[in-house]
Structure 1
Amino acid sequence: MKNLFYLLLFISFTSYSQSIIEEGSSNIIPKKLLIQDNIERIILDYTQSDEMGLIKMHAPFGWTEPIIEAKFEIRGIVLEGLLGLEYQGSEDHIVSGNGFVIPKNTRVRIFNAGKEELILVEILRPAYKEELVQKFKNFKS
């Protein structure tokens, strides 16, 4: 699993990075975002292009997103904690060290299913844009 993580990072930085912070440097300093869902979470955004987004998320115990449907694929690895993915009629739990895939146009609720902080890395293809995400009150609407 560690090899997959490094491969995903390598692909994202070498194939899709359009800019660097300093000339002659490969160092990318993330943009820190505070996102207020039911509880505030921290997103470190390493995205460099519209083709692919790369984020690291820190979500506290009790955090949940609303039900969403994204017009982009989400792939990721749980670094710490327990990730919950709720779909209509089913729920998956992804443990630390394991990866996950949420296909584009899939209705899902993403949440911290554990009792500790959830830390994960996500690769979004294409990169996140607010207009590519719809929020829902339930799975049927």
Structure 2
Amino acid sequence: MKKYTVQHSPFIVPTTDGKVIKEHFGLATNGNSDISIAHMIAPPGWSEPFQTPEFDEYTFILKGKKQFIIEGETVILSEGESIKIEKNTKVQYSNPFQDVCEYIAICKPAFSMELVNRDE
């Protein structure tokens, strides 16, 4: 039995906001609720509603810039930078810039709509 898994075909999460989400490991891909790892591409002008997730989220910027509003504080990360946002922290993610933002997101436990707690 192999003690590793190579992911050749991540789950493409359907979106309506132009963002590309390719989950390599997590609930949608292999049922793993412990962790999710996704490759994201956020187009210029993209944003999500504020949310207070019940998971820690790590973000590593591969290309471009991404804006985070974390409990009222604005943080902007660029290529090569990373951040950990602890669970139960109110946050908004966006790309108000003119270039595409490409990044890796890791959630522990795994991302789920039941745990993200997005504002209406």
Greater relative contact order (Cα 8 A, min sep 6): structure 1 or 2?
Answer: 2
Q: What residue number does 1:114 align with?
A: 97
Question: What is the aligned counterpart of 1:41 among 13, 19, 26?
Answer: 19
Question: What is the aligned counterpart of 2:83 among 90, 94, 100?
Answer: 100
Alignment of 1:82-101 (within 5 A): 82-101=65-84
Aligned-pair distance for 1:50? 1.1
Distance 1:59 1:93, change over 3 A: same
Which has the greater radius of gyration?
Answer: 1
Distance 1:97 1:128, change over 3 A: same
Superposition TM-score, scaled by structure 2 size: 0.86
Unaligned runs of 5+ in 1: 1-13, 21-25
Aligned-pair distance for 1:127? 0.6
More helix by share: 1
Distance 1:89 1:130, change over 3 A: closer
What number of residue pairs does the alignment pair up?
113
Deviant stretches of 4+, over 4 Å: none
Q: What residue number does 2:42 align with?
A: 59
Aligned-pair distance for 1:33? 1.6
Identity, % of aligned positions: 23
Q: What residue number does 1:7 align with?
A: none
RMSD across aligned positions (CA): 1.7
Aligned-pair distance for 1:42? 0.8
Alignment of 1:1-20 (within 5 A): 20=5
Show CA shifts across 1:54-89 (max 9, x none): 001111000000000100000121001101001233
Q: What residue number does 1:32 align with?
A: 12
